Amino acid sequence: MVLLIQRRAARALLRRGPVGAVAAPALGAVSALVALAAVPAVAAPALPPPVLPEDRAGDHLTVVVQHAGSGRDGTYELFCHPDSGTHPDPAGTCRALDGQTRWGQDTFAPVEPGSTCTMIYGGPATAHVTGTWAGRPVDAVYDRSNGCEIGRWDRMVPLLPKPGPA
């Protein structure tokens, strides 16, 4: 089949003009194109490189939890928009954070300095949250050292685990 096409292309070129400087290079070009067209594409498609955390669009948070109790400590990755990661409940957590996000307010803001807080101890649990939320950098530290900090932690559940027995 390929040879038949090459022969027809060569005859057509020879009929149109003299065999010389113009027809010979054209004949070679047509033969090369026809030969390339006949080669089947059997190469496997190239796979894209793996997606790295810094390549993902949307919001990304890393949560490091310590002393919160058995099965609650660890490092979790959370990606929102789209929801994924190693956090136990990415979809529910992203939904909860979206519900707390307000324009012009820092969702992860610390307790206001000088606040009057109850002197109640909520346990040794600590958490460090870093990343990006709503286009803003996040670097927040949580503990349960008094009533204000306990309330701040509890507002971040399910991002932060509900502390339990050790």
Residue 117 in tokens: 């807080």
* High-pLDDT (> 90) share of the chain, %: 59
Phi-psi sector, 68: left (phi>0), alpha (psi -120 to 50), beta: alpha
φ, ψ of residue 7 in degrees (nearest 5):
-65, -45
Q: The domain 53-155 belongs to what CATH superfamily? A: Subtilisin inhibitor-like (3.30.350.10)
* pLDDT tens column, 101-144: 998 899 999 999 999 999 999 999 999 999 999 999 999 999 99
Q: Is the pTM of this model over 0.85?
A: no
Give the type of residue at 19. V
DSSP state of 53: G
Q: Which helix (H) or strand (E) holds 50?
A: none
Domain ranges for the chain: 2-38, 53-155
| Nearest CA-CA partner of 138 in 83, 100, 89, 88 | 100
